[in-house]
């Protein structure tokens, strides 16, 4: 892995996630009823058979570890703005004897410290929603991914449409903030509920990604639309 000579601009979400890092895994399990593990597994499966993987918003390393275990010939680089999250990720990787196959880097998805076309797969789980300049992050994914690489973005979304159950909407707007407030404090998880509601529809996000140089290969909906997986690839012409 080669580092670019740039100054990192680690965004403000790092400090917010430092605060909740020690309870982050528990919160994910509770607020998704354990489905977040299934969603990450589906994300990993759809990346094909990469050997150089970049996992953005790696957090406590759940997806990076899933990728390293699924692809034994791959090296995974996990990047996150939260120093405390990365401490926990490194500890989990050591416990699983994966420390030689996963490298963790503190950094900003909007300004990646990697060379052009350095990775043949990029993943990001539950992170693009928190990036202030999403277009910059998507263009950086295009830049560091080789042509033909798969880019998988997993994100919590607002359940929409006439067929969506009232229970699904209630879960996002009531259950998630309540559990988060009880375990981790109201401020962070009031933000979570608002950010999910404000995230674009799958169609709008796909169009937005196309403007940044990404072609849609597949989109999958989980749990009545509470989560979506976008599988993309860099277009031949690159970012706009």
Where in the chain are the domains? 13-25+33-158+200-234
CA distances from 96 to 56, 90, 106, 154, 236 (A): 20, 10, 21, 24, 38
CA distance 199 to 193: 10
Residues 6+ apart with CB under 8 A from 13: 81, 82, 130, 131
Regarding the domain with residue range 13-25+33-158+200-234, which homologous superfamily does it belong to in the CATH classification? Vaccinia Virus protein VP39 (3.40.50.150)
Residue 218 has what pLDDT? Answer: 97
Residue 198 has what pLDDT? Answer: 81
Q: pTM for this structure?
A: 0.85
Residue 169 has what pLDDT? Answer: 62
Contact 185, 16 (CB under 8 A): no
Kindly list the averaged pLDDT for each block of 10 residues, start to end, along the chain of length 240: 43 64 70 83 95 97 97 98 96 98 97 98 95 96 97 88 59 65 60 75 95 97 88 79
Residue 93 has what pLDDT? Answer: 98
């Amino acid at each position: 892995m080669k580092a670019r000579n740039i100054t990192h601009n680690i965004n403000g979400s790092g400090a917010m996630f430092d605060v909740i890092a020690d309870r982050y895994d528990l919160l994910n399990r509770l607020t998704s009823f354990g489905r977040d593990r299934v969603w990450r597994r589906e994300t990993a499966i759809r990346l094909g058979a990469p050997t150089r993987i970049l996992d953005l918003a790696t957090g406590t390393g759940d997806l990076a570890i899933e990728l390293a275990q699924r692809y034994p010939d791959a090296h995974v680089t996990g990047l996150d703005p939260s120093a405390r999250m990365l401490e926990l990720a490194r500890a989990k990787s050591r416990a699983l004897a994966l420390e030689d196959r996963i490298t963790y880097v503190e950094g900003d998805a909007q300004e990646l410290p990697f060379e052009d076309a350095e990775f043949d797969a990029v993943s990001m789980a539950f992170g693009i929603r928190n990036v202030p300049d999403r277009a910059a992050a998507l263009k950086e994914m295009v830049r560091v991914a080789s042509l033909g690489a798969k880019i998988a973005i997993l994100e919590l979304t607002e359940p929409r449409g006439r067929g969506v159950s009232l229970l699904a909407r209630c879960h996002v707007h009531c259950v998630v903030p309540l559990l988060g407030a009880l375990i981790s404090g109201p401020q962070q998880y009031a933000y979570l509920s608002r950010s999910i509601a404000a995230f674009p529809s799958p169609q709008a996000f796909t169009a937005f990604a196309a403007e940044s140089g990404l072609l849609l290969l597949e989109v999958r909906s989980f749990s009545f639309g509470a989560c979506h997986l976008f599988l993309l690839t860099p277009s031949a012409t690159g970012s706009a």
